[in-house]
Structure formats: structure tokens, C-alpha cells
Structure 1
């Protein structure tokens, strides 16, 4: 009975399933379609770069719009319609610039629902239930990703990439319908800035899209970065930036890598299905592992599966580049290991981040961290295209290993300094 009541009270959140499915589905199919049109890894990397940039700018835009207009339902509906139109537009385009534009648009509009969701969680549930509700929204969002990947895997067995975009459009329209039916604007609204005061909200959302609702442009300045250079926090920030840079060196060229080896479009979606399913299955165990092992230990342990996964990618690039079956099997192992490592790492480091924030400096610390994370994503996406096109996929993945190792060294040094400071205190 209690579970039924809980699901009923959270029915407003069901729009997240098709909304995330449509956005992630289009983001996955665009590189495949670009490659089918004769594009190369450089073009795919530019599309990814534009998408990440649009998400960064969109986080600022949507946050300010919420502050000014206090919209909830309207913004979700607007983003659903925009994503549906963007997905449908892919069916009618066949040029690289147009696909790059669509990639940027999907990034911009997909980020709009995140701050609204955070606020709705805080407005529609009691404070002591925030963490559970945020975990619920994360779980069903991840379920949406799995649904999109499974749909792509099945659809592309018999149909082309362009037609899959229409399925993504239909999923976005269903998100609009669920929004109209279940989402109600609360009579009393919370300011967008209240997000920064809620550790539960920040911890959960930061794990998935670090730039979704923070203000990486408006809250970041060179003086704030310089002020952190002499402090232990800079080690943490640098480790975070390098981690995400490493991640984009792996994931940005991975679809072109698979296609270059003869892996089919359907099999590409199968690989990403396994990636997102591993996230869904492993996510519930993160907090228990961290509680048992401690942040410092688990933060370091998280690098082991992540590093193992990327090393497997290097091996696949050098040893199985012309063997589609072996490449696909290696990829499944790569994605599971890398995603398990990321899931544990992101939970650990996010918790560490909020433990380090001093009173009165939440905005500046989060702004600097968000900006450095964004820089890692942007630099990683564009660098991946250039390195892969010039030196090959194996070298690109090996470079990802190097940056991940540097991230591990910096984070380990941060934890050592933290232990020393605690001992002195």
C-alpha cells in the first residue's frame, strides 16, 4: 500500500521517461547518420562539441527563465515540443551542417527540464523525502535511456537511421502528453537559487549532468579560479576536469570506431543499451559501498574498473579493428567496466565536493567546479575528433588512459592533504 501511495505521489515525474528516451535516442542516432552520409570522426566530434556547448549555455538560460517566470509545466511542455520537432526534422535533412545544428538544439532543449525537475521534487515532496525522490527521478530517467537504446536496437534491424528519429519524436510527444496530464504547477514556488542550498538535489543531479542547473558561465571567473590555485580544492577540481576530458576521449569517437570496424547500427544501440543498463543496476549499490568503504578508499577504487574498461578499448582498437564480432564483445565489457567506475566515482566525488564547501562559498565553489567540468567535456570532445582522425582510435583511447591516470594522481593527492588537515585539526 505504501509503495502504491509513493508511486501515486510521484506520478508527475513520468514525463522524464519518454523525454530522456527521445533526447538520448536522437543524440545516439545523429553520429550514426552522419557517418552513413560520409562524415568522419571529426564531424562527429564537432557535433558533440556543439551539443555540450549548447547544454552549458542552456543551463544558464533555463535557470534564468525559471527565476524570472516561475514556470514549471510550461518549460517541460516547451522542451518536449522542441525536442519532438528537432527529432522529426532529422527525417528531412541530409547535410552535415544541418545535423550539427540538430545536435546543438537537442543539447539545448534536453537540459531545460533538469532544473524544473529539481524544483518539482522539492515542491512536491517533504524535505525528508527529497533524497529518495531525487533517486527515483534518476532511476526512471536512466530507464528512459534504456528504452531508447532497446527501441533503436530493434528498429534498426529492419529500418534506416533516419526513420528512427520519428520514433524519438513520438516519444517526445508522449512526454508532452504526460506533462499535460500529471504535472501541476504548485501554488507556492521555490526560487531556482534554492537548488544551491539543497545538498540532496545537487548530489543527485551532479552525478548525471554536472552542468544541467548550475551556472558555469555566470558563476565562474578567472579570479575565482586563481583564488583556488593555492588551495587543496584545486587538486579536486583539476582531477574532475581531467576525468571528464578522459571520458570524452573515450566516448566521442567510439561510435565512429565501431562503425569503422563493420559493427551494424543495431549493434551500436545494443552496446549503448548495455552501458545504460549497467548504470541502472549498479546505481542503487553506490551509497552502501561508500558508507562501508569510505569516500577516500572508494574514490580511488572507482578508477580501477574505469581504467580497466578504457584499457580494453585500447586493446580492441589495436587487436580487433577488423573483426566486428570481437570488437562488439570487447565493447560490451568496456562499457560495463567504464560505467560502473564512473557511477561509483561520481557519487563519491560529489559527496566529497559538498563536504568541502565552506559556509558562504557554495556559489563560487560550485561555479568553479562546474566550469572546469564543462571545460573538460568541451576540450575532450573536440580533441577526440582531431586525435582520432590524425593518429587513430587506439592512440585516442590510450590518451584517455593517460588523462585518467593523471586524474587519479591528483585526486589521491587531494585525499592525502585532506587526511593531513584532519589530523592537524
Structure 2
């Protein structure tokens, strides 16, 4: 056999071997019970706070502290994972926090106790944010990283949505404490599945080499995971106005998402309605991601379109507060617009960061993106509750609407 033929045979063998690599690593599915549990229980903290005598301010503070703990936890666990070159123990820690902390919430007898437990829960849960992304990158060949991260979030997102659907069904028959216990049990299998499926392979990830972000950033207000692989910071001059516009958007999101369940509950609607609204919000995003991702052209125009749609969500919410007789349909319109708009905003904004940052600044620019978005959401959540308690929902949502238009104006100035 000639050398040329031998090389061809070897290359064909290698190609055939790679063609049999599964499209989705098995361990991706260990996240499904975990996402079902976290998605289904995501609405319960607000509802239980209100049952324990909390107010809009209490709910806002709970969201702010949990978001802060989540941001700090993602940075802490991500860096510790990088330093030890271990991934599996941190994923197991996050999975185990579900059956550990959800029952502890049932034991809370005051809003302050529940907020404390929820804050600690968010910190430990954050070990499942940035750490799995590094494992995804290790599980797939480099040219499939974008596909792998996108698929991981797709599986996680549908698990989250399915958990909301289960919560809707069970909320007719179970109390909030019973729902906490039910979802704690549902999340437990992830610990066993991850222990069996995840193969620990120490690896260093060169974060600066990851160039694309648009397919795998997910809104902190509604979903996990949130992509926080990049933790260094920079402020490129051509992105300063963009970051300010982004800050306005996330403050508005903090004014909106924590307070919508408070609005529905205050008007006498039960847990089933809250779950249905969240399902509508999540489903419209999931269905729209691929279509928007495949049609990315002028990213600035797509971002502005998303912000205008988000402005529509605020208008619908303000109108719902004013027109009590059509409140419920308008609340659903608002939630649907919020979910639909996010696909335009999330995909385009992260792509803009990737394109406009210098080649050596991409990782740190994305780190700044994460900090700005987290800080904005924390600030919005913290001030949203007191605003609702003092000036009402209309004025609070009106401020959010003004911030959204401020974002649009900043982007048009560029």
C-alpha cells in the first residue's frame, strides 16, 4: 500500500470516528430534573413571601438579594472551579442545593427568614451557572462549541418551561409549602444522574478564545443558566454608550419581573394564573430563539426592535392597572411581549459586544456585560418594591417605560 493510500485510509478512519460522536453529550440530560425543579419552584418564593405577610417591597428586596448572591456565587464558584480544574463537584453541589434548600424554605415562618434562605440558596445554586459551560467546551470539539452551548441551554430551557407547566398543574391541589417539597423531590434525581453521567476531566479553558456569545445568554430574571464564563472587566470606548443603554434596560427589567406576580396576587388571582403567565412568557421566547438567531442582520436594528417591543410590554402592564375589567388579558399580552422581545434583545446585545470589543478584550467585555446586567437588575428589584408601595404600579411601570425609551435614545445617538 502506497503512503498516499495509507494516509487516505487513516483520514477516512478518523473522519468516521468523529462522525459517530453523539450530537449531545449524555450528561446534558442530568440537568433536566434540576431545571424542572428550579423552573417549577421559581414562582413560589414571591407567592410564599406574600402568604407570610410580605409586601411589594419585601418581594423586591428578595429578588435583589438573590440576584446579588447569584452574581457573586457565579464568580466565586467559576473561579474556584478554574483554580482546581474541577467541574463535577461544583455541579453536584448546585444540584444538591435544590433538595436541601427548598424544604428549608417551608420551615421559614417570617419573610425575613425566607429571604435569608433564598439568598443562601441562590449563592449555592450559582455553581450551576458558569461551571457547566466549561464542561460543555471540554465535551465537544472546538468547532462545535457554539452548537453545544446552544443545545445545552435549549435542553435546560425546555426543562425549566416543563417545570412551570407541572407547577401549574399541581398548584390546583397543593399548597405552596407542599409545592416546595414536591419540587425538591423532583430535583433530587439530578444528583444521581450527574454522579453517573459526568466524567471529570481536568481542563483549563482559555476564556479569551471564545468569540461568540449570542446563542447562549439567557435572561437572569427568568432562566438558568446565565452565561458568566467571563469574569474580567473592561470598558472599551466604543461600548460605553451601549453599556449605559443596557444598564437602563436591566433596571427596567428589575422593576417589572418581580412585581408582576405581586400585581396579580393583589388583584385576587391565584397561583394557577401566575404559572400560566410565566409559561406564556417562557414559551414565546423558546419558540422565537432559533428564528431570530438565524436571521441576524443589522444587530443594532434588531436590538432597537426588541426594546420597542419591551416598551409595549410596559404599556400593556400600565394599561392593565388602569383598566381593571381587562386586566388579565392585558397582563398576558404584557408577559408575551416581554418574552418575545427578549429574544431580539438577548441575541443581538451579546453579539454586539462580541463584534465591537477588540480581539484581546472580548472576554473582559463580556464580563462587563454580565456585571452591568446583574447590577441593573439588582438595582431595579431593590427600588421597584418601595416604588410600588409608595406610588403604585402605574408609576413604577412608567419609570420602566421611560428607561426603555432612554435605552433606545442612547442607541440612536451612536
Instruction: Provide TM-score, normalisation by structure 2.
Output: 0.89
1:204 counterpart (210, 215, 219) = 215
Q: 1:148 and 1:196, CA in 2 relative to 1: closer, same or farther beyond 3 A?
A: farther
Q: SS of the counterpart of 1:376?
A: helix
Aligned alpha-carbon RMSD (Å): 2.2
Q: Counterpart of 1:305?
A: 309
Residue number in structure 2 paired with 1:262: 268
1:372 offset after TM fit, Å?
2.0
**Cα distance in structure 2, aligned partners of 1:166 and 1:155:** 12
**Cα offset, 1:6, TM superposition:** 6.8
CA contact (8 A) 2:306 2:344 kept: yes
Query: In structure 2, how many angstroms separate the alpha carbons of the residues matched to 1:286 and 1:8?
Result: 22
Residue 275 in structure 1 maps to residue 289 in structure 2: no
**Quick check: 2:238–2:356 contact (8 Å CA) kept in 1?**
no
Q: CA deviation at 1:301?
A: 1.5
Q: Which residue of 2 aligns with 1:423?
A: none
Are 2:96 and 1:81 aligned? yes
| Pair 122,87 (structure 1): closer, same or farther in 2 beyond 3 Å | same
Tell me, in whole angstroms, the C-alpha distance in 2 between the residues paired with 1:286 and 1:136: 16
Alignment of 1:31-50 (within 5 A): 31-50=46-65
Q: How does 1:162-201 map to 2 (within 5 A)?
A: 162-186=177-201, 188-191=202-205, 194-200=206-212
Q: Using the alignment, how far apart are the partners of 1:39 and 1:149 within structure 2?
A: 23
| Cα shift at 1:328 | 2.7
| 1:329-375 deviation line (CA, Å, top 9, x unaligned) | 22221111111111111101110111011133234433333322222
SS of residue matched to 2:86: coil
**Residue 398 in 1 paired to residue 413 in 2?**
no
1:170 and 1:400 map into 2 onto residues whose CA distance is 38
- Judge which range, 177-186 or 236-245, deviates more: 177-186
Q: Normalised by the size of structure 1, how large is the TM-score?
A: 0.87
Tell me the residue number matched to 2:13. Answer: none
Q: Does 1:411 align with 2:411?
A: yes
Partner of 1:338: 338
* 1:244 counterpart = 2:250: yes
1:100 aligns with 2:112: no
**In structure 2, which of residues 140, 149, 168 is the aligned counterpart of residue 134 of structure 1?**
149
Q: Tell me the distance in 2 between the aligned counterparts of 1:327 and 1:109.
A: 37
CA deviation after TM superposition for structure 1 residue 410, in Å: 0.9
CA contact (8 A) 1:214 1:370 kept: no
Contact 1:317–1:393, Cα closer than 8 Å, also in 2: yes
Q: Is the CA contact 1:21–1:145 (under 8 Å) kept in the aligned structure 2?
A: yes
Question: Corresponding residue for 1:144?
Answer: 159
Deviation at 1:8, TM superposition (A): 6.6
Residue in 2 that maps onto 1:20: 35
Contact 2:130-2:228 at 8 Å conserved across structures = yes
Query: Could you tell me whether the CA contact under 8 Å between 1:19 and 1:175 is conserved in 2?
Result: yes
Q: How far apart are 1:392 and its partner, in Å?
A: 0.6
Q: Distance in 1 between matches of 2:362 and 2:352?
A: 13
Shift of 1:26: 2.9
Shift of 1:284: 1.0
Deviations 1:86-144 (A, max 9, x none): 01212222211111012212321222112222112111111121111111111111112
What SS class does the counterpart of residue 204 from structure 1 fall into?
coil
Counterparts in 2 of 1:364 and 1:189: CA distance versus 1, 3 Å: closer
Once the two structures are overlaid, the 10-residue window that deviates more, 136-145 or 109-118, is 109-118
Counting matched residue pairs gives 393
Hey, what's the Cα distance between the residues in 2 that align with 1:35 and 1:248?
A: 18
Is the 1:33–1:161 contact (alpha carbons within 8 Å) kept by the matching residues of 2? Answer: yes
Q: Which has the larger radius of gyration?
A: 2
Query: Is 2:60 aligned against 1:56?
Result: no
Q: Residue by residue, what CA displacement relative to the aligned partner does 1:180-215 show, whole Å, maximum 9, x if unpaired?
A: 2211112x5133xx2342123x43343444965246
Instruction: Tell me the equivalent position of 1:354.
Output: 354
Cα distance, 1:306 vs structure 2: 1.4
Alpha carbons of structure 1 residues 208 and 195: separation in structure 2 relative to 1, 3 Å: farther
